[in-house]
Chain A
């Protein structure tokens, strides 16, 4: 799966959590919790969705690596490689 595809999946799943936000306007290096106003429950739902769609079980200890869109893309690329 390419960088573009992963990014599209992440944008889609984040869009499900924060539907009123235009994902194309979100800075890929911004802290997602602040940019999208999401809390721990939202983030857990995001991680759960990634697990279901990409088969990647992200442990809690790795959550900080997914705090930005760019960070999440790099993390998942490495996991899928």
Chain B
């Protein structure tokens, strides 16, 4: 049994106010975990723990100001706690597979600078960082934490964020009955994510023109014998090709978080979908590299129909590892997207246009599409980006193999 005490966060600190607990009794903690937020004259500070074990009892309530050295919680020693990954329930294991655990965090308390270190959005994959108070509040308000933007340490969701998000989250379940309200909230969410992206991500952009005449021919032939509900669209082939290429070029598939790139284990392609009347969301097609084009098409149809009618589940918009965006066949020839943080790449697919093209030494009319890549230069480079785009182009040359 050990005690977790109010730390001294500087020679001039005499007391601190417990702002929020990030753990509750029964939670397992290990050295380096952030367990509480403490307010001092220097601002809010995330406090990490030095012990490994299980929280037995919380001794100081939120809001209390206590002197340095005051016991804040009792920790029960748990020798097997380090084996947590092995005994973790399936859900945790899944989270771990999506987001490899970060390296051991520094053991000393660090200054939390919400405006710099904590982006407007929580890490969207794996276990959601949120304080117990935020979890309770979200539960009573029937809000999904995955939809809430965290402003606490490392992007953790704190109670205040849940309060602030009440206008945003319900839009996911709401019909278009009050379009003004929904779209306004969605606009705010887009603004936050895109502002963060342009502030933090050093984007670079590449483009590559691909002859998709083989895709069109193959689709026409394939769809000719199928009823409408079994037909495929070019969009499904594009998503499959991007997913396969992302699998082969893993530095485009993952997350840049806390100063480093984390590879994602699966390829979950977020498909940017315009919502009628304004707004945008990018729900994920999970394991898009491993499912058939038919299954992929079915899932896209389902997602798009539900997204457009406002019946999307919040979990579906949470875990994309790369995004694909297309402005449709009446759109533009090329689009240069803004990466959706913490992802590191976005592939844009322009509309198909008829162009004179050189085929086997002669000019021929061909259907051309411009693929673009927006890459996060912290995670990948233009050289790999060029190969990644070329790979997508190569895959689209043989649609029957997708």
Contacts and interface: CB of A to CB of B under 8 A. Distances in A.
B164 to A, nearest CB: 29
Interface string A41-53: 1001101101110
A44 B224 contact: no
A47 B223 CA distance: 13
Contacts of A45: 301, 305
Contacts of A59: 224
B229 A51 contact: yes
B330 interface: yes
B211 to A, nearest CB: 19
B233 to A, nearest CB: 5
A58 B228 contact: yes
B330 A60 contact: no
A60 B226 CA distance: 10
Given A41-B300, A45-B301, A60-B223, A51 B228 contact: yes
B127 interface: no
Given A37-B276, A39-B330, A57 B235 contact: no
A5 interface: no
Interface string B210-245: 000000000010011001110101110000000000
A18 B228 contact: no
A37 B278 CA distance: 12
Contacts of B220: 60-61
Interface residues of B, number: 22
Given A37-B276, A60-B223, A47 B330 contact: no
A57 B234 CA distance: 20
A39 B176 CA distance: 20
Contacts of B228: 44, 47-48, 50-51, 57-58
Interface in A14-68: 18-20, 33-34, 37, 39-41, 44-45, 47-48, 50-52, 57-61
Contacts of A60: 220, 223-224, 231
Contacts of A51: 227-229
Nearest to A51: B228
Is chain B's interface secondary structure helix, strand, loop, or mixed overall? helix
Contacts of A18: 276
B304 interface: yes
A20 B233 contact: no
Contacts of B304: 41
B329 interface: yes
A20 B179 contact: yes
Contacts of A20: 176, 179, 276-277
Most interface-central of B234, B300, B304 (chain A CB within 10 A): B304
A57 B330 contact: no
A48 B301 CA distance: 11
Contacts of B276: 18-20, 37
A14 B174 CA distance: 21
A62 B31 CA distance: 66
Contacts of A58: 228
Contacts of A19: 176, 276, 309
Nearest to A49: B228
Contacts of B305: 45
A43 B220 CA distance: 16
Given A19-B176, A20-B277, A37-B276, A44 B231 contact: yes
Contacts of A50: 228
Contact of A40 (B229, B234, B309): B234
A61 B226 CA distance: 12
A58 to B, nearest CB: 7
B328 interface: yes
15 contacts: A20-B179, A33-B330, A34-B330, A39-B329, A40-B234, A40-B328, A40-B329, A41-B233, A41-B300, A41-B304, A45-B305, A51-B227, A52-B229, A57-B228, A61-B220
Interface of B: 176, 179, 220, 223-224, 227-229, 231, 233-235, 276-277, 300-301, 304-305, 309, 328-330
Given A41-B301, A45-B301, 11 more contacts: A19-B276, A20-B176, A20-B277, A39-B330, A40-B233, A40-B234, A51-B228, A52-B229, A57-B228, A59-B224, A61-B224
Report the 10 A-B pairs with minimum CB-CB distance, sorted nearest first: A48-B228, A39-B328, A47-B228, A48-B229, A51-B228, A60-B223, A40-B233, A41-B304, A20-B277, A57-B227
Interface of A: 18-20, 33-34, 37, 39-41, 44-45, 47-48, 50-52, 57-61
